[in-house]
Chain A
Amino acid sequence: MSLELQGKMRQYLLGHVTEAEREEVETTILTDDKAFEELEIVESELVDDYLAGKLSPAERTGFENSFCDNAERQQDIQFSRVLHRYVNAEAIASTRQPGPAATFWQRTWVRPAALGLAFVIIVLGTVWYVRSRREETTTFVAATLTLSAGNRGEGNNSTSVKLPSNVDAVKLNLQLPAPVAGSYKIRLVRPSGEEELKIAGVHDQLLTVIIPADQISRGAYAFKLYQIRSDGSEERISGSYLFSVE
């Protein structure tokens, strides 16, 4: 399938075509099996690009206007988001699998290193245990948020969090759009302004933020996520994590 046709289909899906071009594409996909399959491929790629924040502002507007109006397409977007979440989790898991045990233990440096590592694990385990015991005394309401292209005012992409009066804090797990790389900074956008929050942890492509219940009230919120590179510079990750407290 030619790159020209791919480009035409992309423009068609974004609604950036004239009536004549639209008829040309539609007649082609009705009569040509390969062209129809190509349209489906371009459609999936467009959804992936949208979720990855790779569309230009004009493409994003076209996508949101012409792409999100029916349940099946909402499910396509949801499926793409879930597929990428799954694939990234699996990719991380597969890189953590150990090599063959016998050859590994035969290496001379491995045993002292393992003893040192065991010591570190015991110390970290103790710290984790003490912290987790301390955390058990706090009651949370938890929610997982995914990166959304929308703004704080757009409620349809927002996750709602019910905050009963008897909980101590809101624990929000932010699904990172890509495997963990470097460190992160998070800013909470409130109706009254923005503030940087402390990150409680980053684990398995989830970044955890804990907000004490007395520091958050009913309303719409958004998180902005920044990636801190090894040279200290920071880059805003496109999109926001939207949620509302009820």
Chain B
Amino acid sequence: MRRHSDTTQEDFDRLLAWLDEDRDEAGKKYEKIRTRLIKIFACRGCCEPEDLADETINRVTARLSEILLNYQGDPVVYFYGVARKVHLEYVRRQDRSVPEKVTIDRNDDEERMYECLDRCMETLPEKNQQFVIRYYQDEKKAKIDNRNLLAAEMGIAVNALRIRAHRIRKLLKECVTSCMTNIAVN
């Protein structure tokens, strides 16, 4: 669980207590809110979604005494209201400045990523390795037929197949990100 650097431990504890009486549950809720705020800012085309999510949380934390007195309802809804204001301010700032274009060294990064993916695939159980290859291979109609067949073989609905593929893909991506960070550090 990450605490914003401008927030004191006492403020952060109060925030967690507002989210849930149980501290472990509160921690999970905090992470969930932060992850989803990051996603929302990214979906709104923001260049630094993590910073904006932290800014949102920071503002909510700073107003907590007032919120506890005057607000009754799901904390998530309150966070969302603040996030919209933070986004509005971000858009105004962007109108005045030239956005920085994100560039990635494609060739080098992709070769490293390929190596990492190869290593990460090895960490998956054999059946999941085969599943990934079968799920993502082929193109267009062949892909749809292939996925229908795969779902039928596994005795699950196509939507359940999508969820399964997504969860494995997410694990792989986390593994690849961690592998690339290790390569960069070393």
Chain A contacts to B: CB under 8 angstroms = 1, 12-13, 15, 26-27, 29-31, 33, 36-37, 39-41, 44-45, 48, 52, 54, 65-76, 78-79, 81-88, 90-91, 94, 143-144, 146, 156-157, 159, 177-178
Interface residues on B, range: 35 or more
A94, B133: Cβ atoms closer than 8 Å: yes
Tell me, yes or no, whether B117 is within 8 Å of chain A by CB. Answer: yes
Q: Which residues of B contact A15 (CB under 8 A)?
A: 45
Determine the distance from Cα of A120 to Cα of B137 in the docked complex, in whole angstroms.
Answer: 32
A13, B43: Cβ atoms closer than 8 Å: yes
B137, A41: Cβ atoms closer than 8 Å: no
Chain B contacts to A: CB under 8 angstroms = 32-33, 36-37, 39-40, 42-49, 74, 76-77, 79-80, 99, 101-104, 106-107, 109-110, 113-114, 117-118, 121, 132-133, 136-140, 159, 162-163, 166, 169-170, 172-173, 176-177
Q: Which residues of A contact B104 (CB under 8 A)?
A: 71, 74-75, 78
Distance from A176 Cβ to chain B, minimum over Cβ atoms (Å): 11
Cross-chain contact of A36 among B39, B74, B102, B170 (Cβ < 8 A): B39
A74, B102: Cβ atoms closer than 8 Å: yes
Identify the interface centre among B33, B40, B45, B106: most chain A CB within 10 Å of its CB: B106
B133, A82: Cβ atoms closer than 8 Å: no
What are 29 A-B interface contacts by the 8 Å CB criterion?
A: A12-B43, A30-B37, A30-B40, A31-B76, A36-B36, A37-B163, A44-B166, A67-B45, A69-B99, A69-B102, A71-B104, A78-B104, A78-B106, A79-B173, A81-B110, A82-B117, A83-B117, A83-B132, A83-B136, A83-B172, A84-B136, A85-B114, A86-B117, A88-B137, A90-B133, A91-B133, A91-B137, A146-B110, A178-B139
A29 touching B40 in the complex, CB below 8 Å, given contacts A40-B166, A156-B101: yes
A40 touching B121 in the complex, CB below 8 Å, given contacts A52-B139, A69-B47: no
Q: Which residues of A contact B169 (CB under 8 A)?
A: 44, 83
Cross-chain contact of B176 among A72, A79, A94 (Cβ < 8 A): A79
Distance from A236 Cβ to chain B, minimum over Cβ atoms (Å): 15
Cross-chain contact of B113 among A71, A78, A91 (Cβ < 8 A): A78
A86, B162: Cβ atoms closer than 8 Å: no
Q: Which residues of B contact A54 (CB under 8 A)?
A: 140
